[in-house]
C-alpha cells in the first residue's frame, strides 16, 4: 500500500490524463507511418510503436499505483504530530543546523521549494512519522547515526 498526499494524487491523475491524450496522438502517428508503405523497413512506424508501448506501460503503472494508493487525511491527527504532507523544522542535535523537511509519498525533485522532500519510506521519513514536536528522533543514515529535534510543524 502506498500513501499519497492529496497533491501527489492530483499530480499523478494529471500525468495519467496527459499520457492518455498522448496515446491518441501516437495512434495517429502509427496510422500515418503505416500509410508510408513497407512496414519491415519503416523506421517511423517502428519508432511510433515503441513510443506507444512505453506510453501504455507508464499508463498501466500509474493506474496500478492509483488503484492501491491511499490518500492521507491529516484532519483528524493531533496538530503536533508529524504525518505525510507535514512540513517540519528539524534541528540537528550535533551541529544545531535547522532545515525544513516535507514528508511526501513520492519526491517530485523540485529544487525551487524551500524545504527538502523526504519520502515516508526513507530512513528520516520512517523515523519522523508519528513523532511529535519537542521529540528527538534517531536516524540511521548512510553516513552514520544522526539525531534531530523536531522544533515545529510549519504546515
> Among 33-37, 63-67, 77-81, 92-96, which is the least confidently predicted range?
77-81
Q: Name the domain count of the chain.
A: 2
Per cent of the chain over pLDDT 90 is: 44
* DSSP-derived secondary structure letter, 85: T
Residue 78 confidence (pLDDT): 67
- 33 and 90, same domain (yes or no): no
Query: Which set of grid coordinates corresponds to residue 57?
Result: 506501460
Domain holding 121, by residue range, is 74-153
Looking at the fold, whether 122 and 59 belong to one and the same domain comes out as: no
Sign of CA dihedral 99, 104, 107, 111: negative
Domain end, chosen from 71, 86, 102, is at: 71
Neighbours of 121 (CB within 10 A): 12
Residue 56 belongs to domain with CATH number: 1.10.287.180
pTM value is 0.65
Q: Is 119 helix (H, G, I), strand (E, B) or coil?
A: strand
Residue 37 is classified by DSSP as S
Amino acid at each position: 500500500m502506498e500513501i499519497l498526499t492529496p497533491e501527489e494524487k492530483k499530480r499523478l491523475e494529471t500525468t495519467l490524463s496527459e499520457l492518455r491524450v498522448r496515446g491518441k496522438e501516437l495512434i495517429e502517428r502509427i496510422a500515418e507511418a503505416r500509410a508510408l508503405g513497407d512496414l519491415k523497413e519503416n523506421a517511423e512506424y517502428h519508432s511510433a510503436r515503441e513510443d506507444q508501448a512505453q506510453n501504455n506501460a507508464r499508463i498501466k503503472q500509474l493506474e496500478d499505483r492509483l488503484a492501491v494508493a491511499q490518500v492521507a487525511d491529516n484532519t483528524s491527527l493531533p496538530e503536533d504530530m508529524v504525518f505525510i504532507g507535514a512540513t517540519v523544522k528539524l534541528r540537528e542535535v550535533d551541529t544545531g543546523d535547522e532545515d525544513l523537511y516535507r514528508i511526501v509519498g513520492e519526491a517530485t525533485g523540485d529544487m525551487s521549494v524551500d524545504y527538502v522532500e523526504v519520502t515516508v519510506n526513507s530512513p528520516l521519513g520512517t523515523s519522523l512519522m508519528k513523532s511529535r514536536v519537542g521529540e528527538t528522533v534517531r536516524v540511521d543514515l548512510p553516513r552514520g547515526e544522526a539525531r534531530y529535534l523536531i522544533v515545529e510543524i510549519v504546515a
